[in-house]
Amino acid sequence: MTKGFKPKVATANHLIEGDVIYFTSEGWSRRIETAAVARTAEDAEALIEQAGQCPQETAGASLIDVDLSTGIPRPVHFREVFRTRGPSNYFHGKQADHV
Partner 1 sequence: MESKLIMYEYTDFDEAFLRDRITEFRSQIARRLDGSLTEEEFKPLRLMNGLYLQLHAYMLRVAIPYGTLNSRQMRQLAEIAERFDKGYGHFTTRQNIQFNWPKLSDVPDILTALADVGMHAIQTSGNCIRNVTADHFAGAAADEVEDPRITAEIIRQWSTDHPEFTYLPRKFKVAVTASDTDRAVIRFHDIGLRLRRQDGEIGYEVVIGGGLGRTPMIGKVVREFLPKRDLLAYLEAILRTYNLSGRRDNKFKARIKILVHETGLEDLRTRIEANFVQQKRLLPDLDPVKLAQIEAGFRPPAFADKPVTRTLSPAMRAFADINTAPHKRADHVIVTVSTKAVGSTPGDVTSAQMRVLADIALRYSHDELRISHEQNVVLPHVHRADLPAVYDALRDAGLATANVGLVSDIIACPGMDYCALATARSIPVAQDIARAFADIDAQRDIGPLKIKISGCINACGHHHVGHIGILGLEKSGVESYQITLGGDGTEAAEIGSRAGPGFAHDEIVPAIERLIVAYLDHRLDRSETFLETYRRLGAAPMKAALYGGAHDKAA
* Cα 20 to Cα 14: distance, rounded to the nearest angstrom: 6
Which of 42/91 has CB closer to partner 1?
91
Binder of partner 1 out of 18, 70, 71, 99 (CB under 8 A) = 18
Tell me the C-alpha distance between 57 and 60, whole Å.
9
Segment interacting with partner 1, rule: CB under 8 A, options 17-25, 30-38, 43-51, 66-74: 17-25
80 Cβ contact partners less than 8 Å away, ≥ 6 residues apart = 11, 64, 65
Binding to partner 1 (CB under 8 A): which residues in 25-84?
55-56, 59-60, 77-79, 82-83
